[in-house]
Amino acid sequence: MKVIAFNGSPRKKWNTGTLLEKALEGSTSQGAETELIHLYDLNFKGCISCFACKTKGGKSYGKCAVKDDLAPVLRKVEEVDALILGSPIYFGAVSGEMRSFMERLLFPYRPYVAPADPRQTLFPRKINTGFIYTMNVTEELMKGMEFDQPPRVNERFLRVVFGASESLFSFDT
């Protein structure tokens, strides 16, 4: 079994990074091969809307065509059995690096058809995904400020593209 975790925090060893490391330790204890990738170490941008991933019959159909530091990482995703994403919550949403990563990770696997079936995916199989969110607010404040809405959307897209998904929230960090 292979598990990759993606750290969307600029701080490698703080709350998000620590929780991702602990999740990977749990995976390793069950015999998994693991890897932790720090998104802030990579030189990449979000989706550039080239639509190469949407061209049926094209060489990049269902895959991001952009060649940068993220390209080999995205290829690794197709070989894993589970993904764990982690990000601090900034201004009610994931970090900019995580958002850019998610655009490049998810958009190519969504077929571009009208009307699109919301359950359709080009990812070749089902894998488990999880998301770890860290934030310096209480659970009550998070819900009161509706900071729980973006994570719900993230979880929905992870489910559609990959299969099962769940979220862990670490409050009042």
Give the number of domains in the chain.
Answer: 1
Range of the domain at 73: 2-170
Over residues 104-145, the pLDDT tens digits come to 999 999 887 655 566 788 899 999 999 999 988 878 877 787
Other C-beta atoms within 10 Å of 84: how many? 23
What's the CATH code of the domain at 38?
A: 3.40.50.360
Q: In b/e form, how buried is each residue of 126-137, taking b as 16+ CB within 10 angstroms?
A: ebbbbbbbbbeb
- Note down pLDDT in tens along the chain; length 173 residues: 999 999 999 999 999 999 999 999 999 999 999 999 999 999 999 999 999 999 888 899 999 999 999 999 999 999 999 999 999 998 888 999 999 999 999 999 988 765 556 678 889 999 999 999 998 887 887 778 777 777 888 999 999 999 999 999 888 87
pTM metric for this prediction: 0.91
